[in-house]
Amino acid sequence: MIPIIIINWNCLEHTVECIDSVLRLKGCDFTIHIIDNGSDNFEGIKLKQKFAKFKNLTVHLYTKNYGFAKAHIKIWIELFRDNPDIKYIALLNNDTVVDKYWLKELTIAAKNGEYHIISSKMIYYYDHLLLDSAGHKMLNTGEIIPIGHGERSQNYMTDFENMGACAGACLYSTEMIKKIGFFDPKFNTGYEDAEFGLRAVIYNYKCKFASNAIVFHKIGTSVKKVFDIDYNIMIQSSIFYSYFKLMPKAYLILNLPFLILKYFAIFIIDIIFIRPKYLKIQIIAIKNTWDERRQIINVRCEHNKKLKKLNWYALMKRTNFFIWFDIKRFYHQIILNKKSNIKEYNKL
């Protein structure tokens, strides 16, 4: 029996459509746990009334919005952490619709515990030819990014190992969570899944993309409500925090010149092309990281006591060199003036 955790974010229509698709799942036993994360307009009560007849579905009415990370930590501790019969938990955003074999394909990809984080094939809800995510990859300068975002979905027809999953549709091993902990409570909504996937890889747990576990995603429906310049500052600060908190010392030393080069180039580009808000994001994120340096060092020490880390050379082979990715990003955003996420959501 696999618990599926869904969070309602003041979007009753999307949540109902998501749950309806989950109730049609085949080939796997599951229970549904809907977290009403402090929504308005009595949405949690409406969900509870609508789905009252389903014995495998429970609505949890949280009186306040705990954010994405803390809401999952809360339900994990209260219901699943001490249950030895639960081997996996599945997370699903309320702005998704799942294929009827989604959960079955995730469990097949896990191969009886060989893989501990399984990424869904997340496809654009409004254009099934385009991919949203096939899980995560990491640049050697610290940024964790979605694989295949905006590419043709048909190009991703085979499974492969990656660096973690989008928590909007994934499967996590409970054995792994018990060993390395769940989401870092420092996070609220955003980047918690990226840090968690990186932490798993560093502690020698395997992550995998399941090409047949299909989910249709209404991109950004939840995050648009919080996506502003402060959110972007938080994400960039989280990138630095996760990188310096988790990466082996030798890896950090070897990649420090590239990190300095990258952000020096970003500063110059933002000044030359008059991008004051982008410049503000970088400056404040660096300041935040400096201010939190003692906390980062303390957390590094705590993590180093737990489990043996993947060695720096093996980790280097798992990450992608930043130059080619950032050249393409410069070409698309500066030369072609295509919309970044910040522009798309904030009209900058």
| Model pLDDT for residues 224-263, shown as the tens digit of each residue | 555 678 999 999 999 999 999 999 999 999 999 999 999 9
Could you tell me which residue, 10 or 129, shows the higher pLDDT?
A: 129
Question: Residue 36: what pLDDT?
Answer: 93
User: Please, which pLDDT band fits residue 343 given cuts at 50, 70 and 90?
Assistant: very low
Q: Which helix (H) or strand (E) holds 243?
A: helix 229-246
Of 224, 248, 275, which residue constitutes the final position of a domain? 224
Shared-domain flag, residues 218 and 106: yes
Q: How far apart are the C-alpha atoms of 145 and 137, rounded to whole Å?
A: 6
Shared-domain flag, residues 41 and 137: yes
Shared-domain flag, residues 27 and 66: yes
Question: Residue 201: what pLDDT?
Answer: 96
| Residue among 156, 219, 226, 167 at smallest CA distance from 193 | 167
Shared-domain flag, residues 171 and 250: no
Shared-domain flag, residues 274 and 340: yes
Beta bridge partners of 7: 35, 93
List all residues 6 or more positions away from 21 whose beta carbon is below 8 Å from its beta carbon.
96, 97, 98, 100
- The CATH number of residue 166's host domain is 3.90.550.10
Shared-domain flag, residues 167 and 100: yes
How much of the chain exceeds pLDDT 70, in percent? 95
| Residue among 132, 201, 211 at smallest CA distance from 164 | 201
Shared-domain flag, residues 162 and 117: yes
Please compute the mean of the pLDDT values over residues 57-66 and round it to a whole number.
93
Of 168, 196, 224, which residue constitutes the final position of a domain? 224
- SS3 for 173-223 is EHHHHHHHCCCCCCCCCCCHHHHHHHHHHHCCCCEEEEEEEEEEECCCCCH
Number of folded domains that form the chain: 2
Structure tokens at 35: 């977290």
Look over the chain and give the mean of its residue pLDDT values, rounded to a whole number: 92
Question: Residue 346: what pLDDT?
Answer: 44
Of 201, 224, 247, which residue constitutes the final position of a domain? 224
How much of the chain exceeds pLDDT 90, in percent? 81
Q: Provide the residue type at 310 as one letter.
A: L
Please compute the mean of the pLDDT values over residues 215-222 and round it to a whole number.
78
Query: Which of 36-40, 54-58, 304-308 shows the lowest per-residue confidence on average (mean pLDDT)?
Result: 304-308
List all residues 6 or more positions away from 159 whose beta carbon is below 8 Å from its beta carbon.
109, 208, 209, 210, 211
Question: Residue 112: what pLDDT?
Answer: 87
Q: How far apart are the C-alpha atoms of 159 and 193, rounded to whole Å?
A: 20
Is the confidence at residue 348, as pLDDT, over 90?
Answer: no
Could you tell me which residue, 301 or 285, shows the higher pLDDT?
A: 285
Shared-domain flag, residues 260 and 304: yes
pTM: 0.92
Question: Residue 42: what pLDDT?
Answer: 86
Shared-domain flag, residues 267 and 282: yes
User: Please, which pLDDT band fits residue 130 given cuts at 50, 70 and 90?
Assistant: very high
Q: Which domain holds residue 280?
A: 229-346
